[in-house]
Amino acid sequence: MQNMDFIIHRDESDYADGYILSDDGISAGSWDNVDFAFWKLRYAGKSINFWVDWGNFDYETPEGMTIDELGAIHIVNAEDLSGTNYACYLGLNLNPTDLKYSYNPYNKVLTIKPTSSTPVKFKDIGFIKFGNSFQEPNFCDYNTAFTYQVDSIDMEKSNDQYLVMSASSL
């Protein structure tokens, strides 16, 4: 079976969401036993979140089924995302794992997908971040996204205000 592909069409407020049911596809008894995962996916501001809205986060699909594995995400009408130069997912441990990204200028689609043939399950993803590191912090690179520079601090003053800027913007 193929892994799951998603097509995201954002609304005028740059938002989209949807659901996917992951179960055995056969038995109604899985509902009584909470033997399923009802995933919610939400796109907002160059971030795609994955979480179980209902059911069992640790649900494992039957052998041979890959409905809970990411194939690719296609964001349509994505001309504003054409400068994307990073993409990753951050799971429960918040360690970024790189994803492939490509923009097709002919159909204006940004595609994001795993970098290898190793399956990436929804429960491993948590959320996907992507963007243009020349315009915003690169959340996939801890050395630039979460490093800040402060010129000086006067420890004798209690009401000083400081401008804190990402090191990537300096």
| Residues 11-44 pLDDT 10s | 999 999 999 888 877 777 777 778 888 889 999 9
Q: What is the pLDDT of residues 70-118, one digit of tens each?
A: 899 999 999 999 999 999 999 888 889 999 999 999 999 999 999 987 8
Is residue 24 classed as helix, strand or coil in its secondary structure? coil
- Residue 10 or 156, more confident: 10
The predicted model scores a pTM of 0.80
- The whole-number pLDDT of residue 111 equals 97
Hey, what's the torsion of the CAs at 95, 96, 98, 103, to 10 degrees? 160
For residues 146 and 168, what is the distance between their CA atoms, to the nearest angstrom? 9
Q: Which domains does the chain have, with CATH numbers?
A: 4-136 (2.60.40.1180)
The band of 3, judged by pLDDT with boundaries at 50, 70 and 90, is confident
166 sits in which H/E element: strand 165-166
Which two tokens mark 68?
């809970």
Please enumerate in sequence order all residues whose Cβ is within 8 A of that of 36, keeping only pairs 6 or more positions apart, or say none: 21, 22, 23, 24, 30, 55, 56, 59
DSSP string, 30-58: HHHTT--EEEEEEEESSEEEEEEEEE-TT
Tens digit of pLDDT for each residue in 39-79?
899 999 999 998 988 888 888 887 877 777 889 999 999 99
| φ, ψ at 162 (rounded to 5°) | -130, 140
